[in-house]
Structure 1
Amino acid sequence: MNLNEPRNFWLNVSTDNKMPHADNRYTKLRWLLTITGLFFYVVDIWMDVWLAFKYFQGKYYVWAGLTLGFVLVGLLVTQIFSYAWYRDDMNDVLINSERNAISGISKGELAVIHLFGVGIFTRYYYLLKKGFNVVWKSTNSDTVEERKDVHHNLFCHATDLSMLKLFEAFLESVPQLLLQVYIALAHDESSVLRYLSMAFSFFNIAWALVDYRRCLRRSLPHIREMPSGLPTVIYLLYKLCTITSHILSYSLLLMLSSYSMIALTILWLLGTAWTHLLKTKFCTSRSLELLYRAVIGFILMFTFFNVKGQDTKVAMIVYYFFYFLINITAPTLYILLKPELKTTTFFLTVSSIIFGGSVLGLVSLVLYYLFLHPRGKWHEADEVDGVGKEAEITGRMRNFLQP
């Protein structure tokens, strides 16, 4: 997403006189799915806060601090970006005139809303309110072009929200899942609440991945929609298997030594440095751009994303080579350093999930990108015609974080 040309650049796209395909309409099902996403978001945070409180009661202060810390980091970062995007929209006359989600709210009021951590809920409120008026109370008084713009505008709102949810999932749900898996494996601590927290973190991650991909592709012109059914299942299988196996590998490394945190920190710095070398142009300010690159560096610790919308076949191959190397190294080190545990049910189960998840995830990746990935033709302007609106959109879109 490029904020140098505001994120919502799709509002500047000219439309034809035909109603969009049904897949590009904001439907009643899509509205209900937004409520589902809100449910996963709220319950996941509530479960983690409750778990942190239980840890504190049991005098597990480090676990309580880490559990609550991940929640706060996720909330803080998403509030910062949400406020920055609202502020940029308010500064753009065209966007502010066509997107009335922030009408009547001053920058000071927006700052207060986000300071109290309810910026995401404000976005949910406006999306659900506008979506309800369109899909449940629609009339035939609008022209075809106006209806098309309204539906497209709703997906623009949804894409902003799904991007924030993606940040939150990787900054809060993923490390939370890693922490709780580590506690359950390393300390043999059984707790129904912990398993519920892990389950909702997992669901929140899965939802954020699919929702982000589908909303992004529906909100951008000249990009084919991601089909539902088998393509979505295979894509989700690829992401969840690779992320889960990586989390278990990191857990084994942390069980071997707490100094493994140094290695994980180095991985984060490498991902951040790579994002910096790509010279991303996501934000309107230098400080926000650096924060964005740090966030993407953290996401890259767990899964691959196309950071600039460019051909990343080589980068993806290199990434998953090292991904597989880490997943092999973790169980191997565990065998070498703790040989007495190599035949235990625990080790065999975890190793099987790591290897099985790695293979299944990589096979799903290959199947998806070879046979199921929607492909659209990019329109590039030549030197004679100059840069037209479609080419401008294409160039900016390549700065957007893409699955």
Structure 2
Amino acid sequence: MASTGSKFTIFRWLCTLLGLIFYVGDIGSDLLLSVQYFRNGHVTWAALTLVFVLIASVCIQMFSYAWFKDDKKNEENDKDLSTCHLIGIHALQIGILTRYYQLLKKSFKALCSSKTQEEEPLRIFTLATDLSMLRMFETFLESVPQLILQVYIILEHNHRSNLQYISMAVSFVNIAWATVDYRRCLRRSLPYVNEMPSGIPTAVYLSYKVFTITPRILSLTLFIMLSTFSTLAMALIWLVATIWAFVENTEFCTSRVLEHLYRAVVGFILVFTFFNIKGENTKVPMTLYYIFIVCHNLAAPILLFLLKPESEGTDYFLPIIFFILLSNSLGLGFLGLYYSLLHPRRPEEDEVDGMEKRKPEPKTRLDRFLQI
């Protein structure tokens, strides 16, 4: 049975509500933290905290508006959402909240109705997958940079506050939640792949992502502590990843301008974790990617020790080195375990990150989403 044929359960409805709470909590805690920094005279920190929120919000609102317009042309969207309404809600930066409202409303009606049409679960899962994709964009454009910034402030400037810790905790939970929720939503929305099982496979996949993204955050923080000019090297990594997206010739958006923005966003995500951007065989690119990432992660504490030897006397240096080593090892271990034993695939399916060897030509937006 295709994953899209499954019903939208009460548990999934509650998970959607929980995702909304995480989203609001993440944005709200960062905004409060920005205000706190400003009141304490840390204008630069306040500005950076706020900038990350605004950049992520503007980007995802642009994609959300474009997808609403595309769906409206295909008569998949609510007819009461006129172009003026769409412009208004996205100009007010509440497009994601509108999507949450629509999903919660439609799925609740489906749960309460005893005569749900066959196409209704597919529509609901499509809404959920669109939302999960936007949430993942927001996570890597806002939550991950926020974590790097806050860890840098704590380690380099020894500035700590309860609100800081709350913001970091919510951002971390948001990263874990958005990554796994996107993976599960996408797989159950595509008819030619098996749905991702819950339980151990989901836990292992989550562990793989968490234990590879976390040392990435710490190593990039150490590079910034070594020199703020290391951000130029990060920009170079982003540029290379973006060029790869251009070389792969992604065809995700109907607008050329948005397609370029999409490739830039994908490039930014690839700075922190690997995604299959076209649903094709990625064994070699993934292997090369993680070889580079591990080497880059390990280079951070080594260079910090050689070029800034006074850091060795700090209370954080050895624990961070140990954690980077352990977390990288665990992350790659969970990666190998997941794709060798737990990855949902059919008997005839080729090892192409979960996609069949002869995958249908992309017909909908879902078919063009990041695949891993």
- Partners of 1:354 and 1:396 lie apart in 2 by 37
Q: For 1:22 and 1:111, how far apart are their aligned partners in 2? A: 31
Please show how residues 136-175 of structure 1 align to structure 2 within 5 Å: 137-139=112-114, 141=115, 146=117, 148-175=118-145
Q: Tell me the C-alpha RMSD between the 2 structures.
A: 2.1
Could you tell me which residue of structure 1 aligns to residue 324 of structure 2?
354
Deviation at 1:153, TM superposition (A): 1.4
State TM-score, norm by structure 1. Answer: 0.87
Q: Write out aligned runs for 1:218-367 (5 A).
A: 218-367=188-337
- 2:371 is equivalent to residue 402 of structure 1: yes
* Aligned match of 2:14: 32
Task: Give deviations 1:32-61, integer Å, cap 9, x for gaps.
Answer: 110000000001000000000011111111
Amino acid at match of 1:70: F
* Change in CA separation of 1:395 and 1:109 when aligned onto 2, cut-off 3 Å: closer
Is residue 222–residue 377 contact of structure 1 (8 Å, CA) maintained in 2? Answer: no
Match of 1:107 among 76, 83, 86: 83
Q: CA offset at residue 338 of structure 1?
A: 2.3
SS of 2:44's equivalent in the other structure is helix
Tell me what 1:5 maps to: none
Paired position in structure 1 for 2:50: 68
Q: Does the CA contact (< 8 Å) of 2:4 and 2:121 recur in 1?
A: no
- TM-score normalized by the length of structure 2: 0.94
SS in 2 for 1:160: helix
2:353 is matched with none
Aligned length: 365
Q: How does 1:112-123 map to 2 (within 5 A)?
A: 112-123=88-99
Determine the C-alpha separation between the residues in 2 that align with 1:255 and 1:132.
48
Q: Distance in 2 between matches of 1:133 and 1:396?
A: 25
Superposed CA offset, 1:241-264 (max 9, x none): 111100100011100111111111
The answer for unaligned runs of 5 or more in structure 1 is: 1-17, 381-388
**Structure 1 contact 51–194 (Cα < 8 Å) conserved:** yes
TM superposition shift of 1:396: 7.8
Secondary structure of 2:360's counterpart equals helix
Amino acid at match of 1:402: Q
Larger-Rg structure:
1
C-alpha separation between the residues in 1 aligned to 2:72 and 2:347? 33
Distance 1:280 1:399 in 2: 8
| Equivalent in the alignment of 1:81 | 63
1:42 to 1, 9, 24: 24
For residues 396 and 106 of structure 1, do their structure 2 counterparts lie closer, same or farther at Cα, with a shift above 3 Å needed? closer
Sequence identity percentage: 51
Cα pair distance change 1:341/1:391, threshold 3 Å: closer
Residue identity matched to 1:181: V
Q: Is the 8 A contact 2:3 2:194 kept in 1?
A: no
CA offsets per residue over residues 73-92 of structure 1, 9 Å max, x none?
11101100000000011112
Opposite residue 156 of structure 2, the aligned amino acid is: A
Match of 1:221, SS state, is coil
Distance across 1 between alignment mates of 2:90 and 2:204 = 36
More displaced 10-residue stretch of structure 1: 180-189 or 343-352: 343-352
Q: Does 1:59 find its partner at 2:41?
A: yes
Question: Contact between 1:379 and 1:390, CA under 8 Å: does it hold in 2?
Answer: no
Q: Deviations over 1:150-176 (max 9, x none)?
A: 112111110000000000000000101
Q: What does the per-residue CA deviation read over 1:205-236, in whole Å, with 9 as the maximum and x for residues that have no partner? A: 11100110000001110210111111111111
* Counterpart selection for 2:105 from 126, 129, 134: 129
* Cα distance in structure 1, aligned partners of 2:210 and 2:224: 21
CA distance in 1, matches of 2:226, 2:239: 22
**For residues 295-318 of structure 1, what are the alpha-carbon distances to aligned partners after superposition, in whole Å with 9 as ceiling and x for unaligned?**
000000000000000000000000
CA offset at residue 343 of structure 1? 4.9
- Whole-angstrom distance in 2 between the partners of 1:42 and 1:366: 34
Classify 1:22/1:87 alpha carbon distance in 2 versus 1 (closer, same or farther; 3 Å): closer
How far apart, CA to CA, are the structure 2 residues paired with 1:288 and 1:307? 16
After superposition, what is the alpha-carbon deviation per residue over 1:173-220, rounded to whole angstroms, capped at 9, x for unaligned? Answer: 010111101111111111111010000000111110011000000111
